[in-house]
Chain A
């Protein structure tokens, strides 16, 4: 008897799950963006200084400030913004599917990406750089040869170093920048490489203050743009106008000082819209 109960329960579960799936398929309104009062914006959640989910559930960082400003110009207040995490690998798809209205997530403008998405901006010119211990003697990229270097797996920065700057550098690849910093702190690696903006954000963190410094190299040009769905020229123009205004009324400078100030980060002046430095 019990056994029959088991199979009955299994059957019930099957029916339940099928209906659950069916219902789930039916009730979505597929309005990824635009419609309604909310606007969805893609950012990073785990990068201090650029896009970070704080312990109280709020969001902070330069990308967040820029996005908030842009959203305001598009007619959305801060409380109407819904922040969505967009990891590097998923950014193009998130836009193509309409999951988010736009993406401000350390998103460098490149030719390959331009075939898939449209970019507004750039709103920040960053460079690949090194983060080293405060007392380190690494000052040039060639100093890295024979040294231990850390970067995030599969990232462009890691590929650049291997190919161009220091082919003999000993490259350790890990899952995230936090892991690299842990290695830098313990002495397992001598330097960490990625965009200087990202590095500055980490160096400015409470726990790391005074322990690390940026080497100040400009190994590459990373033009951070705001990604928009391919073909949505209207939004691109609106965002460009918003970005121009942000620079004009000094909100841009304030965002830079607020977020990168403590790291002693020498940022580039605000880039001109459409001026992609290659």
Chain B
């Protein structure tokens, strides 16, 4: 029944999926935090930029963003990300696109996390003379992060599934292999079922682990 799997390295494809996920997750966490910082910063122009960025990026389908990194950034603007090899370049561009997109959601999650920190914390920080960036880095963000682990886990799960869009620019991850297999084997449903199972295996433990983590790290108040 599963002889159509022969000759295809499904595990390797899913490994690429995992790599895409991990790199994009780290990148979007950093960029998303910076964006959140901008959105609550004292400089009006930065606040404006943060708001505009989030509202524009969140409203565009991810496919469009990923395709833009390849056709726009690479082809037109010559952003090669240090590699002329399209396999490597495509992978890096996909990570870049996923970061740009996911960061908007990370930013919103963190911003609402900032809102959970009691006012007294920020007021006390200011009272002892901390600057804005010190208040944010030392007092607010550490507490905010702990309260948004659950939401961030949801973003991570969505990101895992979103990596399938990287197939649009030829990154050899799970969805691309699925497309190739369907083209060659004419076995759509079985193939799709195998890949659906693969994603359940990837995302379910993630959800459970972070659920446990968020309970453990929750700020007791």
Contact A153 B185 (CB under 8 A): no
Residue of A nearest to B66 (CB): A175
Nearest B residue to A150 via CB reads B86
Verify B67–A179 contact, CB threshold 8 A. yes
- A151-189: contact bitstring with B at CB < 8 Å (1 yes, 0 no)? 001111011000000000011111100010011001010
* Interface positions of B from 153 to 186, Cβ below 8 Å from A: 167-170, 176, 179-180, 182-186
**A112 in contact with B90 given A153-B176, A154-B167, A179-B71 (CB within 8 Å):** no
* Contact present for B74 and A116 (CB under 8 Å): no
A115–B11 Cα distance when bound, in Å, is 27
Q: Is A89's CB under 8 angstroms from B182's CB?
A: yes
Chain B contacts with A in 69-89, Cβ cutoff 8 A: 70-71, 74-76, 84-87
Instruction: Identify the closest chain A residue to B171 (Cβ).
Output: A173
Q: Mark A174-214, 1 if CB is under 8 A from B, else 0.
A: 11000100110010100000000000000000000000000
B52 touches A (CB below 8 Å)? no
Q: How far is the CA of A175 from the CA of B182 in the complex (A)?
A: 16
Asked whether A173 lies within 8 Å of B169 as measured between CB atoms, the reply is yes
How far in angstroms is the closest Cβ of chain B from A124? 20
Given known pairs A93-B188, A175-B67, the reply for A154 and B180 (CB within 8 Å) is: yes
Decide yes or no whether A237 CB sits under 8 A from chain B. no
Contact B186 A116 (CB under 8 A): yes
Q: Is the beta-carbon distance between B179 and A89 smaller than 8 angstroms? A: yes
Classify chain B's interface size: 20 to 34
- Could you give, for residues 55-92 of chain A, a 1 whenever the CB lies within 8 Å of some chain B CB and a 0 otherwise? 00000000000000000000000000000000011101
B185 nearest in chain A by CB position? A112
Known A154-B179, A170-B86; judge A89-B71 contact (CB<8 A): no
In whole angstroms, how far apart are the Cα atoms of A172 and B170 in the complex?
7
CB of B3, distance to nearest CB on chain A (Å): 12
Min Cβ gap A147→B in Å is 11
Task: From known contacts A171-B86, A173-B90, A188-B75, infer whether A112 and B170 are also in contact, taking CB-CB under 8 Å.
Answer: no
B86 to chain A: which residues have CB within 8 Å? Answer: 148, 170-173
Is A113 in contact with chain B by the CB < 8 A criterion? yes
Which of under 10, 10 to 19, 20 to 34, or 35 or more describes the interface residues of A?
20 to 34
CB distance from A119 to the nearest CB of B (A): 13
Q: Is there an interface contact between B186 and A170, defined as CB atoms closer than 8 Å?
A: no
In the docked arrangement, what's the CA distance between A172 and B188, Å?
25
A112, A113, A182: the one within 8 Å of B75 (CB):
A182
Q: A183 to B180, alpha carbons, bound, how many Å?
A: 22
A171:B87 contact, CB within 8 angstroms: yes
Residue of A nearest to B189 (CB): A93
Tell me the bound Cα distance from A183 to B170 in angstroms.
Answer: 14
In the bound complex, what is the Cα–Cα distance between A25 and B168 (angstroms)?
Answer: 33
Q: Which residues of A contact B87 (CB under 8 A)?
A: 171
Q: With A and B bound together, what is the CA distance between A158 and B177 in angstroms? A: 12
Determine if B167 and A153 form an interchain contact, defined as CB atoms under 8 angstroms apart: yes
CB of A183 to closest CB in B, whole Å: 5
**Bound Cα distance from A186 to B71, whole angstroms:** 10
User: Which of B75, B84, B184 contacts A183 (CB under 8 A)?
Assistant: B75
- In the bound complex, residues from chain A placing their C-beta under 8 Å from that of B180 are 154, 159
Closest to A148 in B: B86
Bound-state CA distance A257–B213 (Å) is 68
Chain B residue nearest to A154 (CB atoms) is B179
Taking CB atoms, residues of chain B closer than 8 Å to A188 are 74-75
A115 and B170 contact, CB distance less than 8 A: no
Interface string of A98-123 (1 = CB under 8 A from B): 00000000000000110111000000
Give me 11 A-to-B residue pairs in the complex whose CB atoms sit less than 8 angstroms apart, sorted by A's number. A90-B188, A92-B186, A113-B186, A117-B186, A153-B168, A154-B182, A158-B170, A172-B70, A174-B67, A174-B70, A175-B169
Since A112-B184, A172-B170 are in contact, a sample of 17 more A-B pairs with Cβ atoms closer than 8 Å, ordered by chain A residue number, is: A112-B185, A113-B186, A117-B186, A148-B86, A153-B168, A153-B169, A153-B179, A154-B180, A154-B183, A156-B183, A159-B180, A159-B184, A171-B170, A173-B169, A173-B176, A174-B67, A179-B67
Chain A residues within 8 Å of B, Cβ to Cβ: 88-90, 92-93, 112-113, 115-117, 148, 153-156, 158-159, 170-175, 179, 182-183, 186, 188
6 tightest A-B CB contacts, nearest first: A173-B170, A154-B179, A188-B75, A172-B86, A116-B186, A154-B180
